[in-house]
């Protein structure tokens, strides 16, 4: 691979470098946030190639680009959400922008001539190895075509590339261009370890800053605009709870940004204007803002950035901080679980970590290759009928082994079973995330790989605890949430039964209704949320009703009577029951034992005094001894992966 470095002077952008992307070659471009990668791909590359296919990870990004370029339909096409690729792709010359999940359909529509002259651009290419745990279906076609070079020219772009993770994808790169600033921004990052903290102690830290700002505002003119605090919390529920707390206690204007709120008018304004509007005191967001939007707020408009918890990979930290294009404000990483300090040589620590990851993935690949023979040699059954469908077989294989490997070993593409590279490598990404927080020194070292000029400090706070009034508030919120869920059960079940009632659809089983919902959801991922939202004012708790409906749909796939489903919802046992139901339906080890059991006339053992009630069975599932004793899992981890207990 040929590597070349470029330096951007002040006020220079990628377009100023006159970069040429070689035809019939694979190129990787690593460039910081805010240097004009979007402009380069949307405007410059179409002068080098007849057709440019740009893949981006989020619908919001496609929508943003469509708002900017969509008026020129002769040069640009956009596919995302319900906007699927169509015949307009054939013989098109220009730029096609699409989410990852639309790529396979685009490839099916492109002519051989188009493919030979096209450039495939993968924006935010780090998603290829980081998002496979939840987006493997969308990523598999992209990875397959990149590996097989069905389009001979490709360009991958990102601001953050971890070589050791990308290399596991086995995609051959011919050229790598690395672009840097001559004078990079100095980011101030503070890592605070809350030694006596819990999941809500960060509230007290943000509270302190709010009180300081209030004092500052008292000295300013009354109409002086307030500054915004940006808080990254990797949980939709916590985002809403945090907003509720600060709105009630401090009468602040707060905004929540995540995948389910992206269509709210105030959130859409952020994505469309690429600015947080004035008057917003705090924005609570999940990882959706890591790539979805650039924030062009001035320095005087943003106060600070808080990142809560250890869930963010160093790439996500850098991407999130980089959303601020103009403002350079203090960033605080709040950790309520322990992070050590060490005197060890960090390079040695890193190499040891890489070796462990490499050994893990090598063993999993080997095991996967061995197990792949089962797809053809082992006979899978459903209700005594041999399963012939390759998709059902792969689902069985993945369900049987997912608890051991924390990933899906296989997937289906082009009607053939293949190793699920996206899911496998994303497991390494999660392992890497965990190790990043093994010590402050290692965390700082990894951040500086991407932000070499950053100033990173460490503070241990052994005094701050979650105030009692904060605990009381969130206890009350939980009680209210539980009550809202309980009150939504009947309504959610009614919606499940009534939605598809018609003279032409007369289901005989709950599963038939569930199948209908699932088919509709596959066409529109927001279907359930929209269904509840627009059902009228009779639904007091939209979020909880949608949750009940989703859980009912899933349970109806495995449980045939409504009484049991309702009882599971009332007892809030969905997670446990769904796991057992999934294992019973698809886990081959469980099913093998059941077949052996029922093949030995078990009725002679299960009569009279040996019978147990549903309540007793439920209690049995909850016994700690049942949860802790997992001999085969332990054997696998020790014998195959070398992990010590």
User: Over the stretch 491-543, which tens digit does the pLDDT of each residue have?
Assistant: 999 999 998 988 788 888 999 999 999 999 887 878 898 899 888 777 889 88
Residue 524: what pLDDT? 80
Question: Does CATH place domain 188-342+439-466 in 3.40.50.300?
Answer: yes
Contact 95, 42 (CB under 8 A): yes
Question: What's the CA angle centered on 564, arms 561 and 569, to 5 degrees?
Answer: 125
Contact 437, 307 (CB under 8 A): no
Structure token pair of residue 173? 């790169």
Higher pLDDT, 581 or 253: 253
Higher pLDDT, 639 or 435: 435
Mean pLDDT of 30-51: 93
Structure token pair of residue 562? 């409504």
Mean pLDDT of 136-154: 96
Looking at 79-83, 138-142, 466-470, which range is the least confident one?
A: 79-83
Mean pLDDT of 334-341: 95
Residue 292 phi/psi, 5-degree rounding, is -70, -20
Structure token pair of residue 620? 């049995």
Asked whether the predicted pLDDT for residue 200 surpasses 90, the reply is: yes
The pLDDT-based confidence of 589 (bands split at 50, 70, 90) is: low
- What are 180's strand-pairing partners? 7
* CA atoms 54, 55, 56, 61: torsion sign: positive
The C-alpha R_g of the chain, in whole angstroms, comes to 27
Contact 402, 423 (CB under 8 A): no
Asked whether the predicted pLDDT for residue 637 surpasses 50, the reply is: no
- CATH number, span 2-181: 3.40.50.300
pLDDT digits (tens, 9 = 90+) for 374-432: 666 656 555 555 556 778 888 878 877 777 778 898 899 998 888 999 999 999 999 99
d(CA 489, CA 572): 11
Contact 489, 555 (CB under 8 A): no
d(CA 429, CA 308): 19
pTM for the complete prediction? 0.84
d(CA 623, CA 628): 9
* CA atoms 338, 341, 342, 345: torsion sign: positive
- What is the SS3 assignment for 636? helix
d(CA 371, CA 363): 12
């Amino acid at each position: 691979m040929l590597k070349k470095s470029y330096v951007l002077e002040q006020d220079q952008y990628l377009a100023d470098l006159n970069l040429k992307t070689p035809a019939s070659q694979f190129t990787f471009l690593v460039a910081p946030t805010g240097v004009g990668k979007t402009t380069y791909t949307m405007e410059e590359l179409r002068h080098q190639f007849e057709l440019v296919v740009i893949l981006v990870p989020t619908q919001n990004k496609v929508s943003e680009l469509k708002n900017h370029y969509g008026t020129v339909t002769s040069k640009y096409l956009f596919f995302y959400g319900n906007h699927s690729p169509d015949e307009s792709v054939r013989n098109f010359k220009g730029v096609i922008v699409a989410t990852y999940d639309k790529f396979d359909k685009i490839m099916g529509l492109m002519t051989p001539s188009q493919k030979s002259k096209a450039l495939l651009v993968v924006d935010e290419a780090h998603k290829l190895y980081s998002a496979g745990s939840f987006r493997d279906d969308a990523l598999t076609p992209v990875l397959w075509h990149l590996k097989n070079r069905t389009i001979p020219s490709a360009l991958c772009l990102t601001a953050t590339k971890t070589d050791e993770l990308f290399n596991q994808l086995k995609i051959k790169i011919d050229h790598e261009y690395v672009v840097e600033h001559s004078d990079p921004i100095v980011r101030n990052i503070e890592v605070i370890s809350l030694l006596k903290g819990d999941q809500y102690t960060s509230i007290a830290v943000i509270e302190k800053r709010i009180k300081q700002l209030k004092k500052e505002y008292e000295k300013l003119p009354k109409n002086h605009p307030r500054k915004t605090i940006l808080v990254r919390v990797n949980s939709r529920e916590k985002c809403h709870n945090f907003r509720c707390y600060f709105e009630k206690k401090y009468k602040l204007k707060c905004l929540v940004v995540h995948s389910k709120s992206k269509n709210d008018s105030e959130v859409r304004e952020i994505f469309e204007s690429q600015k947080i509007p004035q008057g917003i005191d705090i924005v609570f967001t999940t990882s959706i803002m890591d790539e979805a939007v650039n924030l062009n707020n001035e320095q005087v408009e943003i106060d600070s950035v808080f990142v809560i918890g250890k869930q963010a990979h160093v790439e996500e930290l850098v991407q999130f901080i980089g959303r601020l294009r103009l403002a350079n404000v203090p960033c605080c990483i709040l950790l309520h679980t322990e992070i050590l300090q060490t005197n060890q040589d960090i390079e040695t620590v890193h190499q040891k970590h890489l070796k462990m990851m490499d050994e893990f993935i090598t063993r999993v690949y080997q095991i996967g290759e061995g197990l792949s023979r089962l797809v053809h040699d082992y006979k899978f059954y459903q209700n005594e009928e041999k399963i012939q469908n390759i998709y059902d077989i792969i689902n069985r294989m993945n369900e049987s082994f997912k608890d051991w490997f924390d990933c899906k070993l296989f997937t289906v593409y082009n009607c053939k079973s293949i190793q699920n590279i996206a899911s496998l490598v994303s497991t390494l990404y999660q392992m890497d995330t965990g190790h990043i927080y093994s010590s402050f020194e290692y965390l700082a070292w990894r951040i500086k790989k991407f932000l070499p000029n950053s100033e990173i400090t460490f503070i241990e706070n052994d005094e701050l605890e979650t105030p009692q009034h904060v605990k009381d508030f969130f206890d009350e919120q939980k009680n209210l949430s539980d009550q809202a869920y309980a009150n939504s059960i009947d309504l959610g079940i009614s919606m499940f039964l009534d939605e598809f009632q018609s003279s032409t659809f007369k289901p005989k089983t709950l599963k038939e209704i569930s199948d209908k919902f699932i088919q509709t959801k596959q066409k529109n991922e927001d279907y359930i949320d929209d269904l509840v939202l627009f059902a009228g004012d009779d639904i007091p708790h939209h979020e909880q009703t949608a949750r009940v409906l989703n859980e009912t749909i899933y349970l109806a796939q495995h449980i045939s009577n409504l009484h049991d489903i309702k009882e599971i919802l009332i007892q809030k046992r969905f997670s446990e029951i769904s796991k057992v139901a999934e294992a019973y339906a698809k886990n081959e080890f469980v099913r093998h034992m059941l077949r052996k059991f029922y093949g030995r006339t078990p009725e002679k053992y299960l009569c009279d005094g040996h019978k147990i009630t549903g309540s007793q069975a439920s209690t049995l599932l909850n016994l700690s001894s049942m949860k802790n004793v997992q001999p085969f899992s332990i054997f696998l981890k020790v014998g195959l992966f070398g992990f010590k207990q």
